[in-house]
Amino acid sequence: MKKISSLQEARAAYKPKLPAVFHEGPALQIREGQPTASVADQEQIKALFPNIYGLPSVTFEPGKKPAYTPLNVAVILSGGQAPGGHNVIAGLFDGLKACHPNSKLYGFLGGPSGLTDNDYIELNAEYINLYRNTGGFDIIGSGRTKLEKTEQYEATLKNCKALGIQALVVIGGDDSNTNAAVLAEYYKQHNADLTVIGVPKTIDGDLKNDMIEASFGFDTATKVYSELIGNIQRDANSAKKYWHIIKLMGRSASHITLECALRTQPNYTIISEEVAAKKQTLQEIAKDFTQTVVTRAENGENFGVVLIPEGLIEFIPEMKTLITELNDLMAKHEDIINSIREMEAKREYISEKLQDHTAKLYRSMPKNIAEQLIMERDPHGNVQVSLIETDKLLVHLVKERLAKLKAEGRYNGKFKTHTHFFGYEGRCSFPSNFDADYTYLLGYTASLLSINKCTGYMSSVRNLCAPAEEWITGGVPMTRMMNIERRHGKDKPVIRKALVDLKGKPFQTFVSNREKWAKETDYIYSGPIQYFGPSEVCDMKTITLQLEHK
């Protein structure tokens, strides 16, 4: 028998805070806003989603409890884990039961594939109570199956009809919620009485806008990473002989890296979006990094901490061009490339197919990086950047520069390094109080969007910097967040990722301090997540959110 820790017992007893609108349960009314349009490519998105395009945003306000009828709802977890997923399902369950005690919640197992393969369980209170306020997605499992074929859509509809399911809730990131929008449109086109609701999940923090102020899990993950970074900073400041280069999750945006930098004050931090805006080359980044090493060595400090985002390599213009060309080339010649067993021959075949300038860059890469760039693609046809050792590539380039400076008598320090990648460490932690509250409310809100047949909407909770009592709930049309992007050699509708705003207060606060942090050892050691204590400690919001709403 498993021994339950005191923290696990305490977290199971935690009661998420609710805003005033839900103090009387689901006694509310819906207020509609103005019709919406997609963030870009309006005509293309409208043509692809004619039945769910242009819907108004909706907000829940206090009112009388309608005479709800029982509702059968299904839920899936899609994509990578994020702290708080279990609470979304708990909030969804509680909301459905508050509307009508005979409502049922089914969980399709293993993500979208469970939906197509009809692999499910019925979720009851006893089972859900085991998972309240815990990390992970193990309550029903997750997966990354892409729903993009007609036979898949038909299978999902058939399986839902067989169970009498009237609403489907998809908990996931931008690609998963794009899947949800595609399903909502398909069901509408075929007059299927099946509502589809999305819930914004990703620790990367890149699924947000004016209606989605934060994606769940970001708060917890950045606090976990910041604790680890602080531990390494303390070690670096103790040993005083190592440079620690830390790669952080964030393929398509640098929100995690920026938040962790604001929390810990490392010596050098790279923000991918700034690299792209300045059109920096690999060598220019290495030169900038090298200068920080030299400056600290001149002060007798041959140690430091560096943060870089996982997806940096795709933001370097010359590398982005190379990777885009590689993605298209590998999609077009997939069978031939897969048939070449010898890696050197594979690299040479690919080099010959590239344009001259990209082929030159590709051939200049260290062997291990060149091979990592042509590894198996993800389900969307993109390079798996988490497998590319960008941190080691930068160390290699910096060492080359330092060796040259030393030969010229312009550097007399030492550059010993350790590289780290913090990713999985932050995905399944016990959610912070903020994420426990936020995710529970996202689920509760999704239940009300479902019962009101708001298909094609994403659950929305706003005013997050205020106390939970003042949070605003409702829904935002998923098509409002869409644009067209190149995926696997084809134009695809996707929910646009939110990048770091280089004019925003979080980034500008970082810029105003980074020169000082580079020269001085001014580390902050944030310590572990606090679940108990004064509200200003245990309910603290991310620095990013606080600065964005000042």
**Predicted confidence band of residue 2 (pLDDT cuts 50, 70, 90):** low
Report the predicted TM-score, pTM, of the whole model to 2 decimal places. Answer: 0.93
Of 94, 204, 219, 435, the catalytic one is: 204
**More confident call, 362 vs 284:** 284
pLDDT at 240: 97
Each residue of 309-333: pLDDT tens digit? 999 998 999 988 988 888 888 888 8
For the chain, what is the largest distance between any 2 Cα atoms, rounded to a whole number of angstroms?
A: 82
Fold designation for 30-217+431-487? Rossmann fold (3.40.50)
* pLDDT at residue 449 is higher than 90: yes
Pick from 196, 106, 190: which is nearest to 150 by CA? 190
Helix axes 390-407, 282-298, angle to 10 degrees: 60
**More confident call, 331 vs 142:** 142
User: Cα-flanking dihedrals φ and ψ of residue 236, to 5°?
Assistant: -60, -40
Q: Which of 159-163, 263-267, 327-331, 401-405 has the lowest mean pLDDT?
A: 327-331
- SS3 percent helix, strand, coil of the chain, rounded to 5, is 45, 15, 35
Pick from 463, 449, 499, 443: which is nearest to 57 by CA? 449
Each residue of 234-275: pLDDT tens digit? 999 999 999 999 999 998 899 999 999 999 999 999 999 999
Each residue of 79-115: pLDDT tens digit? 999 999 999 999 999 999 999 999 999 999 999 999 9
Cα–Cα distance measured from residue 46 to residue 297, given in angstroms and rounded to the nearest whole number: 57
DSSP 146-187: ---SHHHHHHHHHHHHHTT--EEEEEE-HHHHHHHHHHHHHH
Cα–Cα distance measured from residue 507 to residue 513, given in angstroms and rounded to the nearest whole number: 10
Exposed, middle or buried, 30 (CB in 10 Å: 0-12/13-18/19+)? middle
Tokens 């086109």 correspond to 189
* pLDDT at residue 1 is higher than 60: no
Token duo for residue 491: 């134009």
Domain boundaries, given as residue ranges, for the chain: 30-217+431-487, 218-423+503-522
Q: How close are the terminal C-alpha atoms of the chain, in Å?
A: 49
Beta carbons of 442 and 461 less than 8 angstroms apart: yes
Question: Matching CATH topology for 30-217+431-487 and 218-423+503-522?
Answer: yes
* CATH for 218-423+503-522 (3.40.50.460, 3.40.190.100, 3.40.120.10, 3.40.1190.20): 3.40.50.460
Q: Which of 198-212, 349-363, 378-392, 533-547 has the lowest mean pLDDT?
A: 378-392
Beta carbons of 227 and 529 less than 8 angstroms apart: yes
**Predicted confidence band of residue 335 (pLDDT cuts 50, 70, 90):** confident
Is residue 235 among the annotated active site residues?
no
Which value, in Å, is the radius of gyration of the alpha carbons in the chain?
24
Q: What is the DSSP letter of 376?
A: P
Buried b (16+ CB within 10 A) or exposed e, 262-286: bbbbbbbbbbbbbbbeeebebeebb
User: How confident is the model over 408-428, as a mean pLDDT?
Assistant: 96
Cα–Cα distance measured from residue 218 to residue 237, given in angstroms and rounded to the nearest whole number: 28
Cα–Cα distance measured from residue 442 to residue 382, given in angstroms and rounded to the nearest whole number: 30
pLDDT at 6: 84
**More confident call, 371 vs 407:** 407
Give percent of the chain with pLDDT exceeding 70.
97
**More confident call, 386 vs 407:** 407
- Residue 103's contacts (CB-CB under 8 Å, 6 or more residues apart) are 70, 71, 72, 73, 96, 97
pLDDT at 488: 67
User: Cα-flanking dihedrals φ and ψ of residue 77, to 5°?
Assistant: -100, 130
pLDDT at 378: 67
DSSP 277-333: HHT--HHHHHHHHHHHHHHHHHTT---EEEEEETTHHHHSHHHHHHHHHHHHHHHHT
* pLDDT at residue 383 is higher than 90: no
User: How confident is the model over 479-498, as a mean pLDDT?
Assistant: 89
Beta carbons of 325 and 355 less than 8 angstroms apart: yes
pLDDT at 4: 61
